[in-house]
Amino acid sequence: MTLEQMAIFATLGLTLVLFVTGRWRYDVVALIALLIVTLTGLIPFDRAFSGFSNPAVVTVAAVLVLSRGLQNSGIVDLIGRQLERVKGGVTAQLAVLTVIIAVLSAFMNNVGALALLLPVVLQLAHKKEISPSVLLMPLAFASLLGGMTTLIGTPPNIIAASFRQQTGAEPFGMFDFSLVGVGVAVAGLLFIVLLGWRLIPIRKGKSQSGSLFEIENYITEVRIPEESKLNGKRLREVNVFSRAEVNVVGLVRNGERRMEPSALIKLRSNDILIVSADTENLKKLVETAELELVGSEKIGKIELESEEVTLIEAVIMPNSLMLGGTARSLNLRANYGINLLAVSRQGQIFRTRLDRIRFRNGDVLLLQSHIETLKEVAEKLGCLPLAGRGLQIGQARQILPALGIFSAALLAAASGLVPAQVSFVAAVVAMVVMKIVSLRDAYESVDWPILILLGAMIPVGEALEQTGGAQLIANLLLDASDQVPPVLMLVLVMVATMFLSDVINNAASVVLMAPIAINVAQGIGVSIDPFLMALTIGASCAFLTPIGHQSNTLVMGPGGYKFGDYWRMGLILEIIVLAVGIPLILIFWPF
């Protein structure tokens, strides 16, 4: 083994460890890997950022913007309204839901498709008195299965097409993946609908009332008597007396209820404060400031809302600006005009020290905010309102233009008239010109961390190839399986990619595995196509953990799932994918 090969393996080892531990976000880890291979001379300086000019990066960005265009057009809202009419039990509900999400995920970003239907499904679960945990994980898995059926369904497919082109062959076409992907998706959906959902533990998720949070458990009223130390003080001084977090979410004065009062308002005797606090902090406040507990009636959602103010439950989306921050560091009330009332993580509700909780992907928040700023606040923070969204951003008159533009782009790419990246960028420009997507929406809809990941990891993959590292691994595999038929090597590639995608981003797993798979195919003297197909199918099978794919993470909070819940259905699903996928690959992409 040469020094260069030792260096690239050490870099990849460090990268995998950082991916798995999650200490830094995956785009930061990818940039660290890129800097290492550049500064150590494994790739020349003038090639350091060549990955960002790769057609795969451009295509992924364009597909994300087009997904936003379809969302803005009102198509998904229309589908959501039709879903509410679905009748039948769990099996019937899942059959309709999983097919719809799979079809949507084939032509738009699967995380985006899931996010759009998530509030609708939660409302549906409430109306049908079904636990959301029964519906949400199947929905997430169906979005992954749908993504494997077309070129644009998921970034790994686009990356695999790029690797194929680098070998001198034509890149995969729009529906080349459908030959295998549709069969695998159908088998997976049948399992999920008929049996898989029965393996999911019933978790609390959102309650029967349709709300995850029982407001009366942590909202209390306190009265300010004449002798209280708060009498005559500004509202912002409440925490001075408690020495801890007490969130004032309302004020009752002379029978008039004011929601989200100003921090500068001067308190008076007989004012009633509506506060969110845990028992310990509330006790400190009452004793120190000499207040009186009212507590005559339970305070519910209605009491905390007004014509101007509302409560929302929202899940933190992947790549939200809240990730890693706290309510204090983000200064939510001052900067965004919202109160954080509660946080739920994996079905467990935090009732203490809310200002110090570091937000994670999939956390569910209970927020109090002005009605007219709800949409803007949700977009800025990267949160998805879970129920009663009322954000009808689509307009019916845009449905036909959006479908026309998107269909034209698909036909142009599928026919080979123009490359996919050119076709989809042209469609993006058309949607912007026709005001289906604003420039602001276009830039905000791009998942920049994914693009950074791809742009940074592609040169790392090149370094693995150019140093002979990929060939070395391939040779070790070939030597260890001297008498093993090629089909078993194909199985090995798919299984390895499956498990790698369960712990790191699936796009990164394809970038790392593709050079190895190509060298294995060339080493045994067969076509690279079946190995690339096995690679992409495996990359879309992150079914064992909530961290393998953003869709899995997105449903974790609303469904109340625990980390170990995913493998119960996911392991059998991966076995089914393997059993169906390998024969289909051998039929449609023979050696």
Is residue 257 located within the same domain as residue 297?
yes
Q: Which of 250, 272, 304 represents a domain boundary (last residue)?
A: 304
Q: Which of 249, 275, 304 represents a domain boundary (last residue)?
A: 304
Is residue 168 located within the same domain as residue 264?
no
Phi and psi at residue 348, to the nearest 5°: -95, 130
Is residue 324 located within the same domain as residue 291?
no
Is residue 316 located within the same domain as residue 285?
no
Is residue 227 located within the same domain as residue 150?
no
Strand ranges for 393-510 from DSSP E = none
Between CA 359 and CA 355 the distance in angstroms is 10
Lowest mean pLDDT among 33-37, 205-209, 559-563, 583-587: 205-209
Is residue 260 located within the same domain as residue 326?
no
Look at residue 11 and tell me if it is in a domain.
Answer: yes
Q: Which residue has the higher pLDDT, 327 or 85?
A: 327
pTM of the shown model: 0.77
Look at residue 392 and tell me if it is in a domain.
Answer: no
pLDDT grade for 577, boundaries at 50, 70 and 90: very high
What CATH code is carried by the domain that includes residue 327?
Answer: 3.30.70.1450
Q: Which of 304, 319, 343 represents a domain boundary (last residue)?
A: 304
Look at residue 505 and tell me if it is in a domain.
Answer: yes
DSSP result, 338-355: EEEEEEEETTEEE-S-GG
pLDDT grade for 431, boundaries at 50, 70 and 90: very high
Look at residue 70 and tell me if it is in a domain.
Answer: yes
User: Is the pLDDT score of 204 beyond 70?
Assistant: no
Look at residue 63 and tell me if it is in a domain.
Answer: yes
Is residue 175 located within the same domain as residue 247?
no
Is residue 118 located within the same domain as residue 172?
yes
Look-up of token digits 């007490």: 246
Percent of the chain whose pLDDT exceeds 90? 21
User: Is the pLDDT score of 481 beyond 90?
Assistant: no
Between CA 268 and CA 224 the distance in angstroms is 7
Position 389 scores a pLDDT of 43
Lowest mean pLDDT among 80-89, 247-256, 503-512: 80-89
Domains contained in the chain, number:
3
User: Would you call 405 helix, strand, or coil by DSSP?
Assistant: helix
Structural domain span for residue 548? 3-206+405-588
Helix (H) or strand (E) holding 272: strand 272-276
Quickly count: other Cβ atoms within 10 Å of residue 1's Cβ.
9
Quickly count: other Cβ atoms within 10 Å of residue 208's Cβ.
10
Helices (H), 154-251: 155-166, 178-194, 238-242
Is residue 154 located within the same domain as residue 33?
yes
Look at residue 400 and tell me if it is in a domain.
Answer: no
pLDDT, tens digit, for every residue of 136-145?
A: 999 999 999 9
- Residue 530 makes CB contacts below 8 A (sequence gap 6+) with 490, 521, 585, 586, 589, 590, 591
Is residue 226 located within the same domain as residue 200?
no
> What is the average pLDDT across 152-181?
90
User: Is the pLDDT score of 356 beyond 60?
Assistant: yes
Is residue 68 located within the same domain as residue 193?
yes
Position 178 scores a pLDDT of 94
Look at residue 559 and tell me if it is in a domain.
Answer: yes
Is residue 143 located within the same domain as residue 54?
yes
Q: Which residue has the higher pLDDT, 544 or 297?
A: 544
Look at residue 159 and tell me if it is in a domain.
Answer: yes
